[in-house]
Structure 1
Amino acid sequence: MTVRAVQVIAGADVIAYHSARHGRSIARSIAAEHLRADHIEEALIYPVTTESTDHPGGYRGALDEFYESAAARLAAHLDAGRTVAVISEGDPLFYGSYQHMHKRLAHRYPTEVIPGVTSVSAAAARLGKPLAEADEVLTILPGTLPEEELTARLASTDTAVVMKLGRTFPTVRRAMERSGRLPEAHYVERATMTGERTEKLADIDAETVPYFSVSVVPSRIADLPPGTATSTETAMTAETATATTTTTTTTTTGEPSGHGEVVVVGTGPAGPLWLTPESRGALAAAEDLVGYTTYLDRVPLRPGQRRHASDNKVESERAELALDLARRGRRVAVVSGGDPGIFAMATAVLEVACQAPYRAIPVRVLPGVTAANAAAARAGAPLGHDYAVISLSDRLKPWEVIAERLHAAAGADLALALYNPGSRSRTWQVGKARELLLEHRAPDTPVILARDIGGPEESVRTVHLADLDPHQVDMRTLLIVGSSQTQAARRDDGTQVVWTPRRYPEK
């Protein structure tokens, strides 16, 4: 208890506390030595806790009625001129029962809230492990959340505390395991109180877990050796790929950590807002990051992680490096833009992973937001019906193949998402594609030019197919060409939206 809390209790006329129907109150037991015989005690006893109720308003109705009644009891003391101290374990405004009194009384009577030591801080102290360090993000979660939500949030955060275990423990444990955080998770029961217990979460029997227990996933940075560098950048080019493979198999953190794996992660089209929770968690857990420099720059620097950056023309070498690191026990994330399985690194990694000596190395591919979906969302819903995705780059396949596929998709009246439409060295493909598509599409077919979606230079414009200017298209632009049914309209606020109806006219 804080000094101020002791002072307030000493000066109060009435001591109020919440409890279950058994009448025992943890808050009262903590403050017991400071209570006087002349204190008026108000035990605010919950009518229900986790059981069902026949109240006409259901569980929530029963509690709301109780809170109103409890607040009225305290208000009667306050109206009589008595000072009331509501005592609450932990901090009164942190998942505390007091907050329900505060909302009903604080606007009517002078109120002081005395902060307390939360179970989160107490658990970390008893474990002797830092909760968060440097730029790490701490997430506090109630165990009552659905399992999928718990899993997603555990996967995406750096450190976490899950509260309100008890009957939720099996769900929390499964979420820890599914998110890959179970090996890091600790269990703390009744921190700083009689009956305290601390163990690894994986070793806990669910039948022994009370409500007043928490799970802690502490700081990863705190486990690094003193003096560990923030990161080490390793540049890789086609000429140095072999040398890099042999010189980057140890890191600033010492020996490889055990069973290695490669996770291919898509960052979305740009920035952290487009990153899925699963991908965020995989990037945080990786010991090595391998990828194109531009995509690696989107990932926050983390102490102890090593980065292996390269240009965008050494995909096979990049994949081999990642698999070599994993073969030596490293957890490796191959960083890709957009979705790694759409014109990106997943194919290159799997191609190499299916060759000796890499066939036994675990490889996972995590989905990401691809540029076509991001661009379509900005424009409206131009891909609302059947569509095809085609790359206009002829660096890895001949133009004749591209032209044949454009003819086939356009002839089938599919909307088209055209990746890699142009670059400094490829300036004629967009014009050729426009000519070809005009053989199948009306001149006023909507075409969306989506550039740098999610980035600082984002722009989205809609033009007619006949007016498509190749000089306005570069490598950072994605084109979406509508089908014969795609429509464009301007709304009252001046914005233009493009959509393709889900119903197709009968012939």
Structure 2
Amino acid sequence: MTTGRLYGVGLGPGDPSLMTVRAVDVIRSADVIAYHCARHGRSIARSIAAAHIRPEQIEERLMYPVTTETTDHPGGYRGALDDFYAESAELLAAHLDAGRTVAVLAEGDPLFYGSYMHMHKRLADRYPAEVIPGVTSVSAAAARIGRPLVEGEEVLTILPGTLPEEELAARLAATDAAAVMKLGRTFPAVRRALGTAGRLADAHYVERATMDAERLGMLADVDPDSVPYFAVAVLPSRIDERPAPSQAEGEVVVVGLGPAGPMWLTAEARSALAEADELVGYTTYMDRVPVRPGQLRHASDNRVEAERAEFALDLARRGRRVAVVSSGDPGVFAMATAVLEAASAEPYLDVRVRVVPGITAAQSAAALAGAPLGHDYAVVSLSDRLKPWTVIEERLRATTAGDLVLALYNPASRSRREQLEQALKVLREGRPPGTPVVVARDVGGPEQAVRITTLEDLDPASVDMRCVLLVGSSQTRAVRRGDGTTVVWTPRRYPA
């Protein structure tokens, strides 16, 4: 049996002149014109296409049973909509079975937050179907404010305003450019999320783009009570939009990159890196940060922390926004201390400094092994370049006396081999030979490896500076599971 053909027709953002030639041809030739509408029966989609609809065409109004989440349907709001979409699809199926072509009108693009997609999912596997793309409201909004949406290597994020506020803030902070859809009653939460993400001042507001009632402005200036559903918040490209040094308030942000690449970066860290005018850091860590047009990068050797800190503070005094990058968490054996030490004296006392945390090497190593840090633990660096060995040894004995799980940083290097051997000697005096030890190397990197051994069997020769050691307490367990893997965990409950 020959059936009709289903079309999802994108109408663009509102101006009828922005409809594609293909969309106009399909609308004019279809037997049935279908469109979604609220209970009042009016349809923005139909008004856009009105000039091309013929009197003899069949029109099907697909009227939503609800427009808010208030309903007495036994399945709730989602259940009411599912039933509506199923009934609407069968209504269109009857026309298709009769051999009629059906054009379902959709504002913007049919598969971009549109109602047509619910028809497509229910009918496209049963009938021939074609989607006619349309100009999205996001593209129209960017065109109307006259700003590049994304450029070069920037990332664009499209978000529904219905997301939880904290989720919105995290995603807005982590991206370069963004568009937030479905405003209306969500506007106050979206505005707060932009403020939390530090992006409110850059946000544009576009209402009914390309329509007669279009309204443009900066989002911070918009009255929340005046915002309709058909409005978009836009964060355009950041490139070329940085204020001149004389206009900016300088600051230093010490940013924790986590133990490895982009997967370990927090949303706050991504935002701080993107907002910076200049980056300062150890060459190896700087290589982890994407190159952005307009940003200046100052890489240096790992042994000049004090000089690096003062250099960053001097840049900030000249009005620059500076990100000092640091591996792991910047406050754990890293750059935050160096920057704050310098900033606690003249001439830097008035320079704004803040610290953005990162995932520590100990945390990431523990997660790969299981949960060895599940109870109280201590963190000790075995490097004796900044403190005497006698202090390190005293702290190792104290952690053993306190029965703490121990995370050992900087365990060994090519020039420092005997420190680890001495540390193991101290630990073996007070901890059982079978104490589990996690050796995590190059966490998050291409040579990542995690070994589970014991204090007795740990070979110092297998450890270098790219390793972190987690030494268990008396309660730490290493258990071989049914899939052949071994997990290490320390119970949260300690024996009385």
The verdict on a shared fold, with TM-score over 0.5 as the criterion, is yes
Paired residues of 2:317 and 2:351 also in contact (CA < 8 A): yes
How far does residue 489 in structure 1 lie from its aligned partner after superposition? Answer: 2.1
Give the 3-state SS of the residue equivalent to 2:23 in structure 1.
helix
Distance change (3 Å), C-alpha of 1:79 and 1:290: same
Q: CA 1:324 to 1:222, structure 2 compared with 1: closer, same or farther past 3 Å? A: closer
- Identical amino acids, percent of aligned pairs: 73
Q: State the partner residue of 1:500.
A: 490
1:207 is matched with: 225
Call closer, same or farther: CA 1:22–1:82 in 2, change over 3 Å. Answer: same
Contact 1:130 1:222 in 2 (8 A): no
Work out the CA distance in 1 between the residues paired with 2:110 and 2:389: 68
Alignment of 1:94-113 (within 5 A): 94-113=112-131
Distance 2:483 2:146 in 1: 57
Structure 1 counterpart of 2:450: 460
Query: How much does 1:255 deviate?
Result: 4.2
The corresponding residue for 1:483 is 473
Give yes or no for the alignment of 1:305 onto 2:273: no
* Alignment deviations for residues 126-155 of structure 1 (CA, whole Å, 9 cap, x no partner): 111111111111000001111111110011
1:137-195 CA distance string (max 9 Å, x none): 10000011111111100111111111111111111111111111112111111111111
The match for 1:221 among 232, 236, 239 is 239
Of 289-298 and 493-502, the range deviating more from structure 2: 493-502
Partner residue of 1:428? 418
Shift of 1:46: 0.7
1:184 to 202, 206, 215: 202
**Structure 1 Cα separation of the partners of residues 187 and 88 of structure 2:** 31
Distance 1:466 1:68 in 2: 66
RMSD: 1.3
Give the 5 Å matches for 1:331-342: 331-342=321-332
Moved more, 34-43 or 351-360: 351-360
| 1:287 pairs with 2:274 | no
How many angstroms apart in 1 are the aligned matches of 2:69 and 2:179?
A: 26
2:3 corresponds in structure 1 to none
Is 1:146 aligned to 2:164, yes or no?
Answer: yes
TM-score normalised according to structure 1 size: 0.92
The superposition leaves residues 188-234 of structure 1 with CA deviations (integer Å, 9 ceiling, x where unpaired) of: 1111111111111111111111110101111112547xxxxxxxxxx
Once residues 259 and 346 of structure 1 are traced to their aligned partners in structure 2, the CA distance between those partners, rounded to angstroms, is 20
2-side partners of 1:477 and 1:80: how far apart?
A: 70
C-alpha separation in 2, matches of 1:18 and 1:315: 63
CA distance in 2, matches of 1:353, 1:26: 58
Contact 1:257 1:330 in 2 (8 A): no
Any conservation in 1 of the 2:35–2:61 contact (CA below 8 Å)?
Answer: yes
Amino acid at match of 1:134: G
Structure 2 counterpart of 1:453, one-letter code: V
SS at structure 1 position matched to 2:469: strand
Q: State the match for 1:390 in structure 2.
A: 380
List per-residue Cα deviations over 1:437-456 (Å, max 9, x = no partner).
11111112111111111111
Structure 2 contact 438–452 (Cα < 8 Å) conserved: yes
Q: Does the 8 Å contact 2:93/2:123 carry over to 1?
A: yes
Map Cα deviations across residues 20-43 of structure 1 (whole Å, 9 max, x no partner). 111111110110000111111111
Letter in 2 for 1:23: G
CA distance in 1, matches of 2:400, 2:162: 51
Mapping for residues 249-288 of structure 1, pairs under 5 Å: 255-288=245-278
Measure, in 1, the Cα distance between the counterparts of 2:269 and 2:439.
Answer: 28
SS at match of 1:467: coil
Look up the match of 2:347. 357
Are 2:492 and 1:474 aligned? no
- AA paired with 2:306? S
Q: In structure 1, which of residues 30, 52, 56 is the aligned counterpart of residue 70 of structure 2?
A: 52
Residue 492 of structure 1 deviates from its aligned partner by 2.6
Instruction: Look up the equivalent residue of 2:131 and give its one-letter code.
Output: V
Counterpart CA distance in 1 for 2:275 and 2:210 is 31
- Aligned residue type for 2:189: T
- Of 119, 127, 133, the residue aligned with 2:151 is 133
- Counterpart code for 2:213: G
Q: Is the 8 A contact 2:245 2:320 kept in 1?
A: no
**Structure having greater relative contact order (Cα 8 Å, sep ≥ 6):** 2
- TM-aligned CA deviation for residue 257 of structure 1: 4.5
Distance in 1 of aligned mates of 2:369 and 2:197: 34
- Structure 1 residue 441 and structure 2 residue 425: aligned? no
CA distance in structure 1 between the partners assigned to 2:175 and 2:33 by the alignment? 40
Which residue in the other structure is 1:326 paired with? 316
Q: Does 1:33 align with 2:51?
A: yes
Partner of 2:138: 120
Deviations 1:64-103 (A, max 9, x none): 1111111121112112221111000000010001111111
Aligned to 1:240: none
Amino acid at match of 1:303: P
Q: Once superposed, which parts of structure 1, at least 4 consecutive aligned residues long, lie more than 3 Å away?
A: 253-257
Structure 2 match to 1:347 = 337
- 2:5 aligned with 1:15: no
> Once the 2 structures are TM-superposed, how far is the Cα of residue 254 of structure 1 from its aligned partner?
6.0
Task: Name the CA distance, whole Å, in 2 between partners of 1:273 and 1:451.
Answer: 17
Matching of residue 84 in structure 1 with residue 102 in structure 2: yes
Q: Between 257-266 and 413-422, report the one with greater CA deviation.
A: 257-266
Is the contact between residue 129 and residue 222 of structure 1 (CA under 8 Å) also seen in structure 2? no
CA distance in 1, matches of 2:488, 2:87: 56
Deviations along 1:37-66, one digit per CA (max 9) or x if unpaired, are: 111111111111125111121111111111
